[in-house]
A = this chain, B = another copy of it.
Amino acid sequence: MVVDTQNERPMHRIQLNKVGIKNLKTFFITERSGVRHHYIPTVELTIDLPADIKGIHMSRLVESMTEIISDEFSVHDSVEDLQIRILQALAERHLCTHGEVRFDFEFGYTSRTPASKKRTWEVCDVTATTIMEEGKPIRHSVEIQVIGNTVCPHCMANNEGLTHMQRAIGTLNVVGVTEQIPNYGDMIEVIEGSFSSRTYSLLKLEDEMYVTKKMHDNPLFVEDVCRNILQGAKEKFSVRTLEVSAEARSLESIHKHDVIAKGRIVTNGD
């Protein structure tokens, strides 16, 4: 006979809002419109715990996830779809009013160099979270980080055109219900279009000259990049009501520290 320690009374009757697993690594495949993507996410999967129950059954969380991912040849529709099904399987096994699953992963995509038009391979960081709450529609948060650059307009205006520039990181986060979530490619496009210039893994000399000229023609503070991302999201995802937040971070070439700008808006399709 099994002693069900988890169902005992806890020493202190305090409700906990997130209990579960973190830093679990797994792997799966999605396919949409004939394009396959492979993921090796780091997973956080949590539920809430009432004040009068001692613990959750941790193994059921992993089991729900494992069952839904199924086997290594299974192909899923999308990260969001997979996350919804994991939370649904979890809700059947556990009494909970709140479930949340988060994947952190690297996402690869292809591009073309700006002048020589050669193929390049780029990778960005994505955090995709799905939240299921009793009495509310399922919601998703998708956050993408892409590397670009900034060029200082203040220095340029005061220094006979000479200025400093540097690597920068743009982040776009959207929160909404399933139908509102943009695809990753569109989000990447908004971020890349917000920098002084986008960056590429491969640049031939003509491309390097193109990018360098573009940077000098388009000097931007982190404040500008952050606002560009917010405005770009507003325009591109205009038919939806989304919570949008953005951050631009510049790895200053003249300092040892970074500079940042953060903001948020709500898009409105009306």
What is the distance, in angstroms, from A17's C-beta to the closest C-beta of chain B? 6
Tell me whether A223 and B123 are in contact in the complex, defined as CB-CB below 8 angstroms, given that A12-B231, A201-B257 are known contacts: no
List 24 interface pairs A-B (beta carbons < 8 Å), by A numbering: A3-B154, A14-B227, A14-B230, A14-B231, A18-B260, A19-B261, A22-B257, A25-B256, A26-B108, A38-B40, A40-B106, A46-B260, A54-B224, A55-B224, A59-B202, A59-B205, A66-B120, A154-B205, A155-B212, A164-B165, A166-B251, A167-B252, A199-B253, A253-B253
Q: How many copies make up the complex?
A: 4
A20 contacts the other chain (Cβ, under 8 Å)? yes
Q: Give residues of chain A (105-124) contacting chain B, Cβ–Cβ below 8 Å.
A: 106, 108, 110, 118-123
Complex alpha-carbon distance, A27 and B39, angstroms: 11
Q: State whether the Cβ of A249 lies closer than 8 Å to any Cβ in chain B.
A: yes
Question: A23-B257, A260-B20 given as contacts; is B167 within 8 A of A224 (CB)?
Answer: no
Contact with B along A85-118 (1 / 0, CB 8 A): 0000000000000000000001010100000001
Q: Using A167-B167, A223-B55, A230-B14 as known contacts, say yes or no to A21 and B260 having CB atoms under 8 A apart.
A: yes
Q: Scoring A residues 26 to 58 as 1 if CB is less than 8 Å from chain B, else 0, what string do you get?
A: 110000000000101001101001000011101
- A19 with B223: in contact, given A40-B108, A205-B59 (CB under 8 Å)? yes
In the assembled complex, which residues on chain B have CB atoms less than 8 Å from the CB atom of A21?
Answer: 257-260
A264 in complex: contacting residue of B2, B17, B63, B224, CB < 8 Å:
B17
- Is A255 part of the contact surface with B, judged by Cβ < 8 Å? yes
Interface presence of A236 (CB below 8 A)? no
**Smallest distance from the beta carbon of A248 to chain B beta carbons, Å?**
10
List A residues at the B interface (Cβ < 8 Å): 2-6, 10-12, 14-27, 38, 40, 43-44, 46, 49, 54-56, 58-59, 62-63, 66, 69, 71-72, 106, 108, 110, 118-123, 147, 149, 153-155, 157-159, 162-167, 197, 199-205, 208-209, 211-213, 215-216, 221-224, 226-228, 230-231, 249, 251-265
- A253 adjacent to B5 (CB under 8 Å): no
Report Cα–Cα, A38/B37, bound state, in Å. Answer: 9
